[in-house]
Structure 1
Amino acid sequence: MYHSSMPETDPYDLLARYYDLEHGDISVDVPLYLDFARRSGGPILELGCGTGRLLVPLAQAGYKVVGLDRSAAMLARAKARLATAGLSNRVTLIQADITDFHLDQSFGLALSALNTFMHLTDQADQIAALTCVRRHLRPGGLLILDLPGPSEPFLIQPGLILSSQFQTAEGHRVLKLTESHYDRAQQMEEITTIYDETDAEGITRRTIVPLRLRYVFRYELELLLRLTGLRLEAIYGDYDLRPFDEEAPRLIAVSIPSPSPPTHGGR
């Protein structure tokens, strides 16, 4: 028997149930952010903090952290994770869109991890988000954006595939199916993700989540930064800060506020 659920608002409200089962153990990028935090100092702002995967190690290292996300369900899980770790007093969670937020503090480090910036699918939103971040960075503060490397969009395989399977805390089996299409002209990936969760009685609940992601390439990003009063300081090809080249798995962009004002007003 099937029950189906389609997203009505933020797709991440539906993804929240499964997010940590897939991504909760990822830690390969944590040393990078801790190293840059030691250089820049806190406080730290995470854009699109999700369920708090990075909030916990940053707070455990002694930093005051603000986690920003628009999904109430993701933030609820982040709140629970921080409470379990005894870190609620070191982290402030705020429900807001990264294109339009106003905080009464400035930050030594802002970060956008694991392709979060790709959820901004038009230039207006990209510029608005970067402008917001620029306003909240103190002089000499750092912004780190973590994006896919230059070859990734050309490796996307069309068609429906079984991308992973896992088990929930209740013992339910979950099959994750993914169908992707990449429009090279628009730099846009259309993804339909299907989660089939089967309980002990054999009842399967299907959750369908459509997502759109916009790929951003190196010189396009550099121009966006310049338009919003930021300057690209360094670019790396992975979390170990190896050089960025055509085979690089990641595009790690580190930028700082430019002394000159932005050439685009944002929102």
Structure 2
Amino acid sequence: MNGANSFDAFARYYDADYGTFTDDIFFYQELARRTDGPILELMCGSGRLLLPLLEAGHAVVGVDVSATLLDLAHQKIYQTDRSAQATLAVTDVRNTLPKGPFAFAIVALNSFMHLDSTTDQLQVLRNIHDVLQPGGILVLDLFNPDPRELLRQSDNLVLDKTFTLPDNVSVQKWVAQSIDFATQISQVTFIYDEISPAGDVRRTTLPFTMRWLYHYELEHLLARTGFVLEGVYGSYDLEEYATESELMLTIARKDVSPTGIT
């Protein structure tokens, strides 16, 4: 798993890069409305998802390995009138999670892919299982791997987007990936070029590792850690999962049968 330093350096760009993404908000709000109890978001970043869930009336707990990202989340939450219903904790999700029981656990926007070994994946799923209430819900939002697209992206430098920071600095974001199909590992590098009005460039390079999963591989991991698969969907509108789907949006429930965890 990638360390805190990578994500601390990411904090300057996080909200401008990802903060405007809202496609998944309604999906999580609707699912949260049907649960009865507090919500845990793992690898919550700067609170992009926590804040709308909090404002919708839910008690939320967010954890992340980056104290800098959590500081951003705290600043946003403190400005609401529901800050007493929010808890933030710096933690490595492989080691420990806040005590529950939680009704709903979320790992959004490919964050589960930062766990780059089966050992880590299983450990985190077991940790989630331990803090969910019986019958509690887990959502894993992952991209649906397309080998042809991964091959196309491998070893290319791509201009992903441009955006402007709050201090009015223009940023170009470049992405490079090196794909290893044998291990299902993508070595990713984000390059943020800050361009001043005078044309000077300040570059920040953020390398990290991600591991993609396939449908039945994920189903097996969930079964081994005490979850029952509720459904796999291809979009936040719960469209049927198919080969061409962009997402592998997985909903699982904590198994209450006495079969145990392997």
The alignment's TM-score, normalised by the length of structure 1, stands at: 0.91
Report the counterpart of residue 46 of structure 1 in structure 2. Answer: 41
Root mean square deviation, CA, Å: 1.7
The question of 1:242 aligning with 2:242 is answered: no
- Alignment partners' CA distance in 1, 2:172 and 2:235: 30
Residue-by-residue CA offset, 1:132-176 (whole Å, 9 max, x unaligned) = 00001101110000000242x531313112211111111112111
1:51 alignment partner, SS class: coil
1:20 to 12, 15, 21: 15
1:213 alignment partner, SS class: strand
Structure 1, gaps ≥5 residues long: 1-6
Report the counterpart of residue 73 of structure 2 in structure 1. Answer: 78
The question of 1:119 aligning with 2:121 is answered: no
Query: Does structure 2 conserve the Cα–Cα contact (< 8 Å) formed by 1:226 and 1:262?
Result: no
Query: Does structure 1 conserve the Cα–Cα contact (< 8 Å) formed by 2:157 and 2:174?
Result: yes
- After superposition, residues 160-171 of structure 1 pair within 5 angstroms as 160-171=157-168
Identity %: 38
Report the counterpart of residue 261 of structure 2 in structure 1. Answer: 263
- After superposition, residues 84-123 of structure 1 pair within 5 angstroms as 84-123=79-118
Alpha-carbon shift at residue 121 of structure 1 (Å)? 0.1
The question of 1:154 aligning with 2:151 is answered: no
Report the counterpart of residue 173 of structure 1 in structure 2. Answer: 170
Structure 2, gaps ≥5 residues long: none
Closer, same or farther: CA 99–9 of 1 in aligned 2, 3 Å: closer
Alpha-carbon shift at residue 202 of structure 1 (Å)? 4.5
Query: Does structure 2 conserve the Cα–Cα contact (< 8 Å) formed by 1:147 and 1:251?
Result: yes
Amino acid at match of 1:260: P
- Alignment partners' CA distance in 1, 2:87 and 2:142: 25
**Count of aligned positions:** 257
Amino acid at match of 2:167: E
The question of 1:220 aligning with 2:217 is answered: yes
Amino acid at match of 2:258: S
Alpha-carbon shift at residue 206 of structure 1 (Å)? 1.3
1:253 alignment partner, SS class: strand
- Alignment partners' CA distance in 2, 1:77 and 1:207: 19
Amino acid at match of 2:129: R
Report the counterpart of residue 145 of structure 1 in structure 2. Answer: 140
The alignment's TM-score, normalised by the length of structure 2, stands at: 0.93
1:58 alignment partner, SS class: helix
1:132 alignment partner, SS class: helix
Closer, same or farther: CA 8–51 of 1 in aligned 2, 3 Å: closer
Alpha-carbon shift at residue 203 of structure 1 (Å)? 3.9
- Alignment partners' CA distance in 2, 1:190 and 1:261: 37
The question of 1:211 aligning with 2:211 is answered: no
